[in-house]
C-alpha cells in the first residue's frame, strides 16, 4: 500500500480521529478496527469508510481490546500485508482503556513487523501518528489541513447512527466541528486534524535498513 493504516479501537474512531486525513489520501489509506461491539456497528463502519472514499475496512470481531500477544501478532500481520508508510493510532494517555490498549498493541506490532527475524518481507513503518478522539493533545506535532474533506468527515459521522443516537443534542457533530475549527486556527486553515508524532525505536540489528553512515543524506 505504501500509504496510511489507521488502527482504531472502535467503529467511529477512524472518523472522529483522522477521517479528514484519510479522505485526503483515500486511495492509499485503510482502516483496521480492533473491535466490533455490537456486531451491527460493522455496517456503520463500512458506510463511514465509503463516505471517506476508502476501501472496505479490516475488522476484528472482538468486544474489547485485549493487549495480548495474539492480538499483537494479528496486527503485525496486517502491517506486513498492507505495508503502510504511516500508521495512525490512539494516544497512550487517552481516557478510554481500549484506546490506551490499542496504543500498546500497535507500538509492539510495528516493532515486530519490521524484524527480519520475524517476517520474510518485513515492513519498516516510517511514521507513527497519534490522534485525538475525546482526549485532546496539549501540544500537537502535526496539523493536517482537512478543509477540503470536512464534508466527507461529516458524512462519515452521520453513518455512525447508533452512536449519534446516544446523545440526541448533536454532541458528536458539534465536538468534531469545534475541534477541527480549533486545530484549523492553529494551522492557519479552516479545519485541521491534530496528531502527536512518536519517534520509532531501533532496538537491535533486526531491520532491513541497518546503521546510518551519514546524518545529512
Ligand atoms: Zn473509541
Q: How confident is the model at residue 8 (pLDDT cuts 50, 70, 90)?
A: very high
Tell how far the Cα of 157 is from the centroid of ligand 1, in angstroms: 13
State the burial class of residue 88 (Cβ atoms within 10 Å of its Cβ: 0-12, 13-18, 19+).
buried
Q: Are 27 and 2 in contact (CB under 8 A)?
A: no
Confidence (pLDDT) at 32: 98
Tell how far the Cα of 204 is from the centroid of ligand 1, in angstroms: 33
Candidate ranges 28-37, 160-169, 199-208; pick with highest mean pLDDT = 28-37
DSSP 70: H
Mean pLDDT, all residues of the chain:
96
**Candidates 3.30.300.30, 3.40.50.10320, 3.30.930.10, 3.40.50.300; correct CATH number of 4-198?**
3.40.50.10320
Tell how far the Cα of 90 is from the centroid of ligand 1, in angstroms: 9
Q: What are 133's three cell numbers?
A: 478522539
Which tens digit of pLDDT belongs to each residue from 184-203?
Answer: 999 999 999 999 999 888 88
State the burial class of residue 77 (Cβ atoms within 10 Å of its Cβ: 0-12, 13-18, 19+).
middle
- Among all chains, which residue has been given the C-alpha cell 500498546? 104
Which tens digit of pLDDT belongs to each residue from 76-118?
Answer: 999 999 999 999 999 999 999 999 999 999 999 999 999 999 9
Tell how far the Cα of 98 is from the centroid of ligand 1, in angstroms: 7
**What sign results for the dihedral spanned by CA atoms 202, 208, 213, 215?**
negative
Tell how far the Cα of 16 is from the centroid of ligand 1, in angstroms: 9
Tell how far the Cα of 201 is from the centroid of ligand 1, in angstroms: 26
Tell how far the Cα of 116 is from the centroid of ligand 1, in angstroms: 32
Q: The pTM is what?
A: 0.96
Which tens digit of pLDDT belongs to each residue from 119-160?
Answer: 999 999 999 999 999 999 999 999 999 999 999 999 999 999
Given a cut of 80, is residue 1 above it in pLDDT? no
**How big, in percent rounded to 5, are the helix, strand and coil portions of the chain?**
40, 15, 45
Q: How confident is the model at residue 205 (pLDDT cuts 50, 70, 90)?
A: confident
Q: What are 184's three cell numbers?
A: 484549523
Amino acid at each position: 500500500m505504501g500509504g496510511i493504516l489507521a488502527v482504531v479501537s472502535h467503529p467511529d474512531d477512524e472518523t472522529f480521529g483522522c477521517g479528514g486525513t484519510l479522505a485526503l489520501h483515500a486511495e492509499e489509506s485503510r482502516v483496521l478496527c480492533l473491535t466490533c461491539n455490537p456486531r451491527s456497528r460493522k455496517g456503520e463502519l463500512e458506510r463511514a469508510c465509503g463516505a471517506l472514499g476508502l476501501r472496505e475496512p479490516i475488522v476484528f470481531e472482538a468486544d474489547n481490546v485485549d493487549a495480548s500477544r495474539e492480538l499483537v501478532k494479528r496486527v503485525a500481520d496486517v502491517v506486513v500485508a498492507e505495508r503502510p508508510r504511516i500508521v495512525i493510532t490512539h494516544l497512550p494517555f487517552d481516557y478510554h482503556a481500549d484506546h490506551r490498549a490499542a496504543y500498546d498493541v500497535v507500538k509492539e506490532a510495528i516493532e515486530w513487523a519490521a524484524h527480519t527475524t520475524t517476517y520474510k518481507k518485513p515492513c519498516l513503518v516510517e511514521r507513527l501518528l497519534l490522534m485525538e478522539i475525546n482526549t485532546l493533545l496539549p501540544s500537537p506535532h502535526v496539523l493536517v489541513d482537512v478543509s477540503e474533506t470536512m464534508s466527507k468527515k461529516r458524512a462519515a459521522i452521520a453513518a455512525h447512527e447508533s452512536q449519534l443516537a446516544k446523545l440526541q443534542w448533536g454532541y458528536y457533530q458539534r465536538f468534531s466541528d469545534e475541534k477541527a475549527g480549533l486545530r484549523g486556527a492553529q494551522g492557519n486553515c479552516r479545519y485541521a486534524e491534530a496528531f502527536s508524532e512518536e519517534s520509532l525505536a531501533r532496538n537491535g540489528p533486526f531491520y532491513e535498513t541497518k546503521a546510518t553512515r551519514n546524518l545529512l543524506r
